[in-house]
Amino acid sequence: MESEQLQQKAREFQARLAPQIDDAKRNLSELNAKIISFIRARPGTCLLGALAFGYIVGRIASKNR
């Protein structure tokens, strides 16, 4: 009997979370599309930003040796 109750609770939990998970997936998909369009519109800026970020991370990592 306890196993059936656990299964029922799991189904209820999944039913409550499914819409939130779908919303999160949709929001992430929209954010991904915005990021891709930003990078396509400004590839040089993004490349310079990535290089600067890598340089900073490298400097921090080399100090922590």
Give me the domain span that covers residue 33.
2-63
Q: How far apart are CA 44 and CA 42, in angstroms?
A: 6
Please state the domain count of the chain.
1
> In sequence order, what E strands does 3-57 have?
none
Q: Are 46 and 39 in contact (CB under 8 A)?
A: yes
| pLDDT of 54 over the 90 cut | yes
| Alpha carbons 37 and 46: distance in angstroms, whole number | 12
Per-residue pLDDT tens for 9-22? 999 999 999 999 99
CA diameter of the chain: 63
What pLDDT, on the 0 to 100 scale, is given for residue 2? 86
pTM of the model: 0.63
Confidence of residue 64 (pLDDT cuts 50, 70, 90): confident
pLDDT of 63 reads: 85
Residue with the bigger pLDDT between 57 and 64: it is 57
Digit-coded pLDDT (tens) for 24-40 = 999 999 999 999 999 99
